[in-house]
């Protein structure tokens, strides 16, 4: 029987040390993928240790790297492996224009040859460790995956694909055809496992996606997990409070001990949304760089 893996999405700027601590204390996740480390040169050991420090603990960690220089990314992976990282992911999916304009993140999808060089070079640097890829179905058209996915799978260097159904150009727009796009991704990626990503915000949505695509290896939830912090526990069949109690429990855990007001506003909006945010009026009345605790 195919037992799915449930992943929290790597969220740049959101995965603060306080959030990671709270998630670990509440046993909300079974694994982490870090936000991307932007590689422009090989970081010093102290910088790698500082980047990884918030993820220290018992939860397995996959380190995500992003860059355009295969040699530098490979050397960074080797240096991180030397200090204990056990698994790596390459980001070919970030849709930020600041990132893609230089050919990194989702910008790599415009140049499959460069993606292949990156994957092969990095794998040579960490031959015994898992290497996965996080990407979208295309730059401008989901049909683009017809060309690059089989070629990436054929390298023999990729252990898992994490595939977001939208294209880079679609950013986070509401678009139809999620199941059809991802079904084709599964077919094109064979025999490499695929973790599905995009618009999974409830157990019902996850169950429907899993029913439609039972050949997938798992599901990754990003914004949906923040909106319902106990979502991954529920998907795994673990005891969990109701959604509203879970939101309150998580927010209190993150802010316990003091959390910057500006970050508290951002997190509370992710969890509840602006309209239903029970803390918003209280928070905006406070100086933005002071510390806040919901307790």
* CA atoms of 83 and 211, how far apart (whole Å): 40
What pLDDT, on the 0 to 100 scale, is given for residue 207?
A: 87
pLDDT at 85: 97
Q: How confident is residue 2, by pLDDT bands cut at 50, 70 and 90?
A: low
Measure the CA–CA gap between 166 and 142, rounded to whole angstroms: 7
**Which pLDDT score, from 0 to 100, does residue 173 have?**
86
pLDDT at 12: 87
- The band of 13, judged by pLDDT with boundaries at 50, 70 and 90, is confident
**pLDDT for res 127:** 98
- Parse the chain into domains and list their residue ranges: 5-237, 241-295
pTM for this predicted structure: 0.95
pLDDT in tens, 46-91: 999 999 999 999 999 999 999 999 999 999 999 999 999 999 999 9
Which CATH number describes the domain made up of 5-237?
A: 3.20.20.70
């Amino acid at each position: 029987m195919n037992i799915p893996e449930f992943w929290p999405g790597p969220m740049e700027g959101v995965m603060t040390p306080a959030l990671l601590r709270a998630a670990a204390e509440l046993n909300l996740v079974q694994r982490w993928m870090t936000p991307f480390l932007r590689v422009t040169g090989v970081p010093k050991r102290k910088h790698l240790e500082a980047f990884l420090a918030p993820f220290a603990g018992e939860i397995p960690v996959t380190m995500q790297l992003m860059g355009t220089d295969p040699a530098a990314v490979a050397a960074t992976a080797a240096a991180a492996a030397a200090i204990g990282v056990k698994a790596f992911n390459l980001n070919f999916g970030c849709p930020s224009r600041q990132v893609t304009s230089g050919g990194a993140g989702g910008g790599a999808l415009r140049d499959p040859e460069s993606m292949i060089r990156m994957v092969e070079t990095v794998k040579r640097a960490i031959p015994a460790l898992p290497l996965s890829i996080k990407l979208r179905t295309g730059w401008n058209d989901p049909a683009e995956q017809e060309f690059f996915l089989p070629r990436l799978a054929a390298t023999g260097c990729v252990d898992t694909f994490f595939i977001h159904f939208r294209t880079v150009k679609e950013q986070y727009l509401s678009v139809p055809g999620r199941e059809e796009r991802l079904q084709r991704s599964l077919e094109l990626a064979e025999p490499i496992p695929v973790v599905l990503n995009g618009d999974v915000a409830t157990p019902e949505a996850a169950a429907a996606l899993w029913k439609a695509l039972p050949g997938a290896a798992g599901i990754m939830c990003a914004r949906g997990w923040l909106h319902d912090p106990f979502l991954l526990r529920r998907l795994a069949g673990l005891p969990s409070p109701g959604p509203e109690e879970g939101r309150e429990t998580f927010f209190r855990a993150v802010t316990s001990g003091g959390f910057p007001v500006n970050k508290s506003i951002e997190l509370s909006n992710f969890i509840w949304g602006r309209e239903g945010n029970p803390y918003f009026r209280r928070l905006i009345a406070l100086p933005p760089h002071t510390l806040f605790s919901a307790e």
